[in-house]
Chains A and B, each alone.
Chain A
Amino acid sequence: KNEVEQSPQNLTAQEGEFITINCSYSVGISALHWLQQHPGGGIVSLFMLSSGKKKHGRLIATINIQEKHSSLHITASHPRDSAVYICAVEETSGSRLTFGEGTQLTVNP
Chain B
Amino acid sequence: GAVVSQHPSRVICKSGTSVKIECRSLDFQATTMFWYRQFPKQSLMLMATSNEGSKATYEQGVEKDKFLINHASLTLSTLTVTSAHPEDSSFYICSVSGDSTDTQYFGPGTRLTVL
Contacts and interface: CB of A to CB of B under 8 A. Distances in A.
Contacts, number: 51
Tell which of A43, A44, A94 has the most Cβ of chain B within 10 Å.
Answer: A43
Contacts of B1: 45
Interface string A66-92: 000000000000000000001010000
A48 interface: yes
B interface, how many residues as a size bin? 20 to 34
Given A33-B103, A42-B108, A86 B49 contact: no
Interface string B76-115: 0000000000000001010001001111111111010000
B109 A99 contact: no
B14 to A, nearest CB: 23
A95 B109 contact: no
A interface, how many residues as a size bin? 20 to 34
Contacts of A100: 43
A61 to B, nearest CB: 13
A96 interface: yes
Nearest to A35: B106
Contacts of B103: 31, 33, 45, 48
Given A35-B106, A94-B100, A96-B49, A43 B42 contact: no
Leading 6 A-B pairs by shortest Cβ distance: A43-B106, A42-B108, A99-B43, A41-B109, A95-B100, A48-B103
11 contacts: A31-B103, A41-B91, A86-B44, A88-B44, A95-B32, A95-B49, A95-B97, A95-B104, A96-B46, A97-B34, A97-B44
Given A42-B106, A95-B97, 4 more contacts: A30-B101, A42-B108, A43-B109, A100-B43
